[in-house]
Amino acid sequence: MHNRKTVLFPKTESILETFGENIRLARLRRNVSSSLQAERAGISRPTLSMIEKGAPSVSLGSYVQVLVSMGLEKDLLKVAADDELGRKLQDLKLPLRRRAPKKMIGHGK
């Protein structure tokens, strides 16, 4: 099996690191050990450690399993829920309704 390192932009790395740190802090606030958290999520302890570091090589499913095991899965539903830019772009593509030209009543033959 090939072990390829995922190459990410620095901003993407920072987002993942913050995401992992937020997961770690949520676990610590619940006073749950990493071993117990991994068991609850159905993943290995090393995988949990990688998640808490924001590793891009860990599957999104594993990240979600950890969130579910902490009752935080609804946080994921907030992602792109308020897509202001996307809605503006969509609105630009909406056809403009045009009215038919007014008929001239009483003007003519």
What number of other Cβ atoms are within 10 A of residue 15's Cβ?
Answer: 13
DSSP state of 43: S
**Closest CA relative to residue 45, chosen from 53, 35, 54:** 35
Q: Could you give the CA distance from residue 31 to residue 14 in angstroms, rounded to a whole number?
A: 26
Q: Could you give the CA distance from residue 36 to residue 14 in angstroms, rounded to a whole number?
A: 27
The residue type of 99 is: R
Note the pLDDT tens digit of each residue in 10-47.
Answer: 999 999 999 999 999 999 999 999 999 999 999 999 99
Note the pLDDT tens digit of each residue in 57-94.
Answer: 999 999 999 999 999 999 999 998 889 998 888 888 87
Q: Could you give the CA distance from residue 83 to residue 98 in angstroms, rounded to a whole number?
A: 28
